[in-house]
Amino acid sequence: MCKSIRRICLAAMSKHNRFPASWSVRGFVLGGGSLVLSTMLATTSSAAPPSAAAALGLKPVQDGVEYEQVEPGDVEKCEVRDIERDDWSGWEVSGADGTLLRRFADTNGDKKVDLWCYFQYGVEVYRDVDANFNGKADQYRWMGTGGTRWGIDENEDGQIDSWKMISAEETTRELVQSLANADGNRFVTLLASPKELQSAGLTGDRLESLIKKASRAASNFKKFAATQKAIGPKSQWIQFAAATPGIVPADDIGVKKDVMAYENAVAMYETSGQSGQMLVGTVIRINDAWKLVDLPVLAETGEPIAQSNGNFFTPGGSSTAGAGVSSAGNSKTQELVGALEAVDSQMVGEGDPKALAKLNERRADIVEKLIAAAETPAERDTWTRQLVDTVSVATQSGTYPGGLKRLKDLAASMQSSKGGASEAMRAYTEYQLIGTEYIARQTEDADFAENQVWWLEQLTEFADRYPQAPETAAAKLQLALSKEFEDKETEALRFYKEVAKDFRGTEAAERAAGAVRRLESEGKEVDLEGRTVQGKAFRLSALRGRPVVLHYWATWCEPCKNDMKLLRGLQARYQRAGLQIVGVNIDNQLEQASEFLKTNALPWVHLHEDGGLEGSPLAKQFGVQTLPTTMLIDSKGRVVDHNIGAAELDDAIEKLLK
């Protein structure tokens, strides 16, 4: 720790060359980005503000942010003042004309800055966020006129590891920058992962085909970026061009949910005044992020670019864009990738179960050889993750009978190998193995109760083995939910609170904190904010004075639809008593809810925010993990029952109104 409160550890600061020489304010420490610059000092209420020069010297962690700069001669005219909020501490910097320029805030009261905000013309355009309050930025958000990107930095090294939110336009912008800097890690964050493609609702051949394309794109990017000459360090993204996105309906072959995608999307760019265009191809929406599934195709200078076959909207077609790009790596890797592509081609459209099983076996053999041939740990992890994901999907779909044994053998080899697989990869593999084996156990003559006990035991042991692994958060959420089903809420709360504490700043922690709020809500006033399906702002507290039934539902949930019939009857019966019903739709996309409500008479308020059961902010507020979930709230806004069955509502409302 630094010996003087007037000095911040300069060695750490100069490492990133992001921040001015040194500044600490009495009672409060300002840091930023990936630097650990904070320490507990005096209270913020007694802190003197930093100078305008020091405050304006801070820079965003991410490069390329367009925010308002101040000319050196105008710095002394700027003003630094305390933030005027009861729940935050810190400072704001404004220009001579009063325009807001910067905000540095402590949002949790620990006397350390955890929010660094940058403005353009008085509008916030970017912020660095320390969501887990450990002194290091782990989220980067563009907003206002700066766009919609929301990057997650899991290991807090200043590099974005995944995108929580990114528009299709911004995805193509990131793609241009990835090529301009030959940055493979940046490119991989733009590709849809197998798990994301599965969560988007893709199944069967469609799912397997896109998984393979995305994995090939990740493997081939290094060589592609090195051999292409069109985009370089001086290239700049100009614009995104595409026809309107289309919907693949949930009842289409290989799709179980509506899928939204662009086909033949194009990115326009400019290099030293010379315009160019790049065929990005398919861009698919997964929750709030638009993802790629293949390498792009670059046009020759000045030449128009031809369309490719699409992945979704070309009859009988699947995109071959980028298939001719040469493979990355040494000759052995190149040979193996070629063999992998040949197997993938054979698998498309293959309907014979025995033939598919053999192809899946052969494919896994090849990927294992690619793992052995990998030249870097990152490359090895990429191929290992692909092996785990594809074998898991094939096993669960019934097209690879030997897949479960293969996963078990892989997990065992990881445990016995010295200096091979990282702990993170071992944890990932073992967690996928648990889920895959659980599905494989669900045969017609299986003992459900026995399988459930096995599954929960496996999750518990996994969480004990890997207490810090991201998969442990998911495991503990499952364990907590099982305890809720058993009416063991004390045990459920223990798991939820562990996730909320140990994985702060993650979506799992948000859901866990919401579940704690729900389970501890009885007898307490609660509120819920959101927007209706018509786009109007809604707040639950506006219904004070009337009893409320809060009903979480989705169009894919048949029990939810049965509940709705009962709710219509209750609405009519208790109309004079002022009973209000509020539906909370948890479909992935608004269109699904809107279409359902057009053909089903459900005359009460319905809220919706995209994201589904795992990602919707409305689900996170109360940690809803299963549907239907129904809460009964009295006229004073206090929760009467946080998880009441629809059949129990009549008696409960009758009792409430006496």
Tokens of 154: 């899991």
Per-residue confidence (pLDDT) for residue 330, from 0 to 100: 58
> What is the per-residue pLDDT across 425-442, written as a single tens digit (0 to 9) for each?
999 999 999 999 999 999
Quick one: pLDDT band at residue 337, thresholds 50, 70, 90?
Answer: confident
Burial 434-470 (b: 16+ CB within 10 A, else e): bbbbbebbeeeeeeeeebeeebbebbeebbeebeebb
Which residues does 582 contact at the CB level (< 8 Å), separation at least 6?
528, 538, 540, 543, 548, 549, 550, 551, 604, 605, 606, 607
Per-residue confidence (pLDDT) for residue 12, from 0 to 100: 29
Per-residue confidence (pLDDT) for residue 45, from 0 to 100: 43
> What is the per-residue pLDDT across 362-413, written as a single tens digit (0 to 9) for each?
999 999 999 998 887 877 888 898 899 889 988 988 899 999 999 999 999 9
Task: Identify which has the larger pLDDT, 500 or 16.
Answer: 500
Task: Identify which has the larger pLDDT, 343 or 534.
Answer: 534
List, in sequence order, the alpha helices (H) in 29-69: 52-57
Quick one: pLDDT band at residue 7, thresholds 50, 70, 90?
Answer: very low
User: What letter would DSSP give residue 50?
Assistant: P
E strand spans, 48-161: 79-82, 89-94, 100-106, 115-120, 123-129, 139-142, 150-152
The C-alpha atoms of residue 458 and residue 453 are separated, in whole angstroms, by 9
| Phi, psi (rounded to 5 degrees) for 569 | -65, -40
Q: Which residue has the tokens 């990107």?
A: 149
Quick one: pLDDT band at residue 501, thresholds 50, 70, 90?
Answer: very high
DSSP notation for 425-466: HHHHHHHHHHHHHHHHT--TT--HHHHHHHHHHHHHHHHHH-
CA 556 to chain centre: 22
Beta strand pairing call for 235-241 and 246-248: unpaired
Per-residue confidence (pLDDT) for residue 18, from 0 to 100: 34
pLDDT of 40 above 80:
no
> What is the per-residue pLDDT across 475-499, written as a single tens digit (0 to 9) for each?
999 999 999 999 999 999 999 999 9
pLDDT of 76 above 80:
yes
pTM flag (> 0.75): no
pLDDT (average), residues 26-42: 36
User: What letter would DSSP give residue 351?
Assistant: -
Task: Identify which has the larger pLDDT, 652 or 419.
Answer: 652
Helices (H), strands (E): how many in the chain?
Answer: 20, 21
Burial 568-603 (b: 16+ CB within 10 A, else e): bebbeebeeeebbbbbbbbbbbeebbeebbeeeebe
> What is the per-residue pLDDT across 139-194, written as a single tens digit (0 to 9) for each?
999 998 899 999 999 999 999 999 999 999 999 999 999 999 999 999 999 999 99
Per-residue confidence (pLDDT) for residue 549, from 0 to 100: 98
Among 295, 236, 303, CA closest to 270:
236
> What is the per-residue pLDDT across 240-261, written as a single tens digit (0 to 9) for each?
888 788 999 988 888 899 999 9
The C-alpha atoms of residue 102 and residue 212 are separated, in whole angstroms, by 45
Q: Map residue 52 onto helix, strand or coil.
A: helix
Quick one: pLDDT band at residue 608, thresholds 50, 70, 90?
Answer: very high
pLDDT of 225 above 50:
yes
pLDDT of 44 above 60:
no
Per-residue confidence (pLDDT) for residue 302, from 0 to 100: 40
Quick one: pLDDT band at residue 307, thresholds 50, 70, 90?
Answer: very low
User: What letter would DSSP give residue 358?
Assistant: H
Among 481, 455, 467, 457, CA closest to 423:
467
Of the listed ranges 308-317, 429-438, 522-531, the one predicted with least confidence: 308-317
Contact 479/456 with Cβ under 8 angstroms? yes
Calculate the average pLDDT of the chain.
85
Beta strand pairing call for 246-248 and 274-286: unpaired
> What is the per-residue pLDDT across 102-124, written as a single tens digit (0 to 9) for each?
999 999 999 999 999 999 988 89
How large is the C-alpha radius of gyration of the chain? 27
Percent of the chain with pLDDT over 70: 87
Contact 371/377 with Cβ under 8 angstroms? no
Contact 587/555 with Cβ under 8 angstroms? yes
Contact 126/117 with Cβ under 8 angstroms? yes
For the chain, domains (ranges, CATH) are 10-162 (no CATH), 166-328 (3.10.450), 448-519 (1.25.40.10), 529-657 (3.40.30.10)
